[in-house]
Amino acid sequence: MIPIHGHRYLPGGHTTYGHPVLSMWGTDIIYYSTDLVDYIHQEFGGPGIDRTDPRWQPHATVAFWRDFV
């Protein structure tokens, strides 16, 4: 896991683009954004993708994390 800010992390993987940002607090692990760019928009007030938007479909890009999210 690559720490981003607070309890937000990017899973490390083979590719460098398109990993969702995960929010991890104790044993609670959720998708926070679809990728790093969307995270920056969500966290700092930019035009992020709303969770009701059909494009908001984060997916686990590292096999290990599919079991948790």
What's the pLDDT tens digit per position in 7-40?
999 887 666 677 888 899 988 888 888 888 888 8
User: Are 35 and 19 a contacting pair, CB within 8 Å?
Assistant: yes
**Can you tell me the mean pLDDT for 45-49?**
74
pLDDT higher than 70, residue 55? yes
Show Cβ contacts of residue 47 under 8 Å, excluding neighbours closer than 6 positions. Answer: 41
The domain tally of the chain equals 1
Residue range(s) defining the domain that contains residue 39: 2-66
- The whole-angstrom separation of Cα 65 and Cα 43 is 22
How high is the pLDDT of residue 66? Answer: 63
Higher pLDDT, 64 or 3: 3
